[in-house]
Chain A
Amino acid sequence: MSSGFRDFLKQLEDAGELLRLPKRVDPRHVSALMAQAPQATFFEAIDGYPDWRAAGALVSTRKRLAIAMGCREDAIAARFEQGIQRPIEPRLVDRAPCQEVIWTGDDADLTRIPIPMMHVKDGGPYISATVVVSRDPDYGRNVGSYRMMYRTPRETGVDLVSSSDMRVYYQRALDQGRPLPIAVAIGTHPFELLAASYKAPIAVDEFAVAGGLHGAPVELVRCRTVDLEVPANAELVLEGELLPIGWTADEGPFGEFSHITGEVKWNPIFRVRAITHRRDPIFYVLQMPWENDWLAAPVIEAAGLQALRVASVEPVAIRAPVGGCCYWTLVASIRKRPGEGKNALLALLSVAEVKLAIVTDDDIDIYDPDDLDWAMTFRVQADRDLLVVEGARGKHIDPSVRAGALGKGGLPTTAKLGIDATIPEGVPRSHYERLRYFAKDAVRLEDYR
């Protein structure tokens, strides 16, 4: 059986990474409190919601993500690669904790869930930790993650602007004038969220990817009102449909994973048919932008490793720093042969929306900012070692692409920068020999205290 949300909470607590708040908290204050806490946060009492607890900021650091993935902090990409290369098909079960309580009809009321207020300029309260399941008659099941903005007790907005498999499914349903049934699982293990965030080929079942990450099949249960399956051990499930109205309803702004507020978007509406949950549910508040960023890191880092290997460059370490939102920047160290600093940059800059890539030799600790600065200071000549690619695909939420000037439907482009911070060809490695202290191994500080 795969691990669940509660197993992960226990792992965090055992590692001293979970802060329990026993006092009653207003849902309007949940995010602000999480932002002040150095650890992941568990709210034991929610004002106005006596049956609920809440938790969040669970994977808002590399350390906590590594705990979720059961690996070292510098091994999350390799661990992710391992999981996606060995998918394990999910298993269907008859009974599920996520269906201990079932609300249908007028009882399926979103105001009964402690959906929090997150950021100052959000267009409404948001459900952020979603694992959204849909099905297409030809392509099969899809699992993705989409933010959902509260509208009414039975409706949310759903951000379906970016290209995704579910967007394709919705468009196909829309063309036939029918709604698209979906189910939204909240409060799952991060592996389900990681698999949902991973842009797998359309025919790949993301629950099998999650199974590969767990090393065990994800247990699924059939929904009560839609022909879909959800993780049995989820805390909460919303069942319903995307209405066949197209991209016509206002949604947003929301605090984006780029750490800034987005714009109002035009999106479909999700209408709720049923809500099912555990008897003692815990509502998962995925804290933007940090958790979204860190959930992207293994995916982007693994893509970087793959790109380097395809380019026949041997990677040693790779890092998607949080300053680049674990999405726009990649730093890699390589075992370099002549010319491979540039080859590595070309490979890394081909990954998704990566717009800054830095490559170093394998003697540089890319997790140490000072070591990285040192390499960029003494191994880079700006006229030789910078690579600029103009007019590559960009992303609207990067303000520097000036998307506002493009007009309706315009797609932005971006320039990409690569910095080759490897030892220049022709300079002997001995010129970079670090200082060593005389008799370092002959004396110990402890002996002189």
Chain B
Amino acid sequence: MSPLARAIVAQLSARPRHFGELVEAHMDVPWRDFLRAWGEVRAAEVLSRDDAGRYLVSASPSPSPP
């Protein structure tokens, strides 16, 4: 995983965030680099969603329908 993807995972492990919050936290990164890193995080299947639509990294391996 790239350093940027690891940083995103760390942010989502700390607390749930909207995708827009993650984007805002990395505005200094070129958009394409951010999208690639997000793709890495997606591919790692570590993401879940909460009721507000925020992403989080939790113990369960990947998001699944309720």
Q: Which residue of A lies closest to B63 (CB)?
A: A250
Q: How many residues of A are counted as interface, with CB atoms below 8 angstroms from the partner's CB atoms?
A: 35
A120–B18 touching, CB < 8 Å: yes
B18 to chain A, nearest CB (A): 5
B49–A250 touching, CB < 8 Å: yes
A152 contacts the other chain (CB 8 A): yes
B66–A152 touching, CB < 8 Å: no
A235 to chain B, nearest CB (A): 19
CA A248 to CA B53, docked complex, whole Å:
15
A contact residues around B27 at 8 Å (CB): 28
B36 contacts the other chain (CB 8 A): yes
B54 to chain A, nearest CB (A): 9
A contact residues around B65 at 8 Å (CB): 247-248, 266
A342 contacts the other chain (CB 8 A): no
Interface centre among A117, A119, A155 (most CB of B within 10 A): A117
A423 to chain B, nearest CB (A): 49
Which B30-62 residues have a C-beta within 8 angstroms of A? 30-32, 35-36, 38-40, 42-43, 47, 49, 53, 55
Q: Which residue of A lies closest to B48 (CB)?
A: A250
A124 contacts the other chain (CB 8 A): yes
Q: Which residue of B lies closest to A123 (CB)?
A: B19
A153 contacts the other chain (CB 8 A): yes
Among candidates A28, A49, A115, A264, residue contacting B49 with C-beta atoms closer than 8 Å: A264
A114–B20 touching, CB < 8 Å: no
B31–A114 touching, CB < 8 Å: yes
CA A247 to CA B31, docked complex, whole Å:
29
B contact residues around A247 at 8 Å (CB): 65
Interface centre among B30, B35, B40 (most CB of A within 10 A): B35
A142 to chain B, nearest CB (A): 25
Which B1-40 residues have a C-beta within 8 angstroms of A? 18-20, 23, 27, 30-32, 35-36, 38-40
Which A357-402 residues have a C-beta within 8 angstroms of B? none
CA A119 to CA B18, docked complex, whole Å:
11
Q: List 9 A-B contacts (CB under 8 A).
A: A48-B31, A49-B32, A111-B39, A112-B32, A117-B20, A120-B20, A122-B19, A264-B53, A408-B66
A47-B30, A253-B53, A266-B65 known, 5 other contacts, Cβ within 8 Å = A48-B32, A49-B32, A121-B20, A123-B49, A124-B19
Residues of B that sit less than 8 Å from A by CB: 18-20, 23, 27, 30-32, 35-36, 38-40, 42-43, 47, 49, 53, 55, 63-66
Q: What are the 10 A-B residue pairs with the smallest beta carbon separation, nearest first? A: A152-B39, A266-B65, A253-B53, A111-B35, A250-B63, A120-B20, A111-B32, A27-B31, A48-B30, A152-B42
